[in-house]
Structure 1
Amino acid sequence: MSKMIKPDLSAPVDGRQSERALEIQRGTGRLLRRHGFVSLPEVTLKSGRRADLLAINTKGEIWIVEIKSSLADFRADKKWPDYWDFCDRLFFATNQETPEEIFPEEAGLIIADAHGAEIIRDVEQRKLAAARRKALTLRFAQIAASRLHAIHDPGVPTHIEPAKL
């Protein structure tokens, strides 16, 4: 009888994020779960922008969370308004050390660490068009399934993801 090999279920790390950003991501993911969302990190959108976290709940509501681990990180990225075309709500997530007042009022604000997070400022929902919502929901499912498949079958190239939507 052959011995069963237990798959490595740890999350893949692509090396682009700092340790601080990964801690914010983890705590924010826990917050999203408490609010009934599941999330995927590093999702490329049709615009070519990459959402730090794309989250969806059972009602189909889609949130994007842009992680900023420092003042310099925030200042380096001014393209955040582009995310509004791909979500119902847009949030920044940061840590206690980053000044809250730098973040624009047009987006929500989450303060996080490796253990959890809190929504400090909520943001009004902007409804996505039905066709965009469907496309994003399908993309979310395809990416999640593709990543899960790569965990269970490590021989599959991990760079293969469905076409951008």
Structure 2
Amino acid sequence: MTEQLLGQALVEEATKKSGLIWVRGDGPERALWHAWHDGAAYLVGDGPGEQPLPGLTDGGTARVTVRSKDKGGRLVAWTARVSAVAPDSEPWEAVTTELKGKRLNAVDAERMVERWSRECRVLRLTPESSTTELPTSSLAAPPPATPATTRHPIPAALPRLLLGRGRKRSSKRHA
């Protein structure tokens, strides 16, 4: 019983203090921003300009990994029950207030919660079990596919064009 209580306390404290949590549902594992409120982690996403929440379904489960903010090492991993928070439900206002406080760089901060109710999903991840044991494998995964490309080398003449090097300047003054 004491070990279970310590595990719950570690999950709560580590998740509260972490800016990102790594979450894996039925899809790929993703780093997601969150807010801790009332014994659970809350996520908002799957809407325009918000984080994707692939593989997280209402009634499903997810695996959450919390890393140390300063060292980046894994502190605790926990299994969560996933449930959707409906816009007209009792916890909606309190949860979205917490999420709004954590949301960085929002272009529509005044109408953000209204937009979330129309276009996004808010999910509650309720801890069910936890472990501090280190995994036996590396847990490394290939990065998700993206249309982004690597930069190509700049043309050799570009620095001369931009910085004006190579031009001979006249030292004669015109009267």
TM-score of Structure 1 vs Structure 2, range by shorter chain: under 0.3
Normalized per residue, the structure richer in helix is 1
TM norm structure 1: 0.28
